[in-house]
Amino acid sequence: QGLKPIVSTESPALIFGTTSKLASDLPATDSFLGKNKVPDLQKLFQKADGLPVHLKGGVPDKLLYRTTMALTIGGTIYCLVALYMASQPRNQ
């Protein structure tokens, strides 16, 4: 009567039962790839219209830029006010 093994000797069930396809196995013209938008975006961003590249995306880029600037200026003012208040002695 020897010792019985505590750990099961059976292999555990597979977590991922399906195999995934490698990129090299897929045909180059699958429908999920869609149209290549890079040439169109290159034309848009390389156009010499005087706009900086971070504003060439239209209204969403302008909105993000202005929001970032407002938060940066507001945060700077808040820090300066907090530093001024911290530098003043408290009245007792």
CATH number of the domain to which 81 belongs: 4.10.91.10
pLDDT tens per residue, range 37-51 = 999 989 988 888 888
Whole-prediction pTM: 0.53
For the chain, what is the total number of helices (H) and then of strands (E)? Answer: 2, 0
Phi, then psi, of 77 in degrees rounded to 5: -65, -45
DSSP letter at 49 equals S
Domain enclosing residue 87, as ranges: 51-91
Q: What is the C-alpha to C-alpha distance for residues 62 and 73, in angstroms, rounded to an integer?
A: 16
Question: For residue 43, which amino acid is it?
Answer: K
Confidence band for 24, pLDDT divided at 50, 70 and 90: low
For residues 54 and 65, the answer to whether their CB atoms sit within 8 Å is yes
- The answer to whether residue 46 is domain-embedded is no
Indicate the number of domains in the chain.
1
Regarding predicted confidence, which is higher, 69 or 7? Answer: 69
Regarding predicted confidence, which is higher, 16 or 58? Answer: 58
Q: Give the pLDDT score at 10.
A: 74
Confidence band for 82, pLDDT divided at 50, 70 and 90: very high
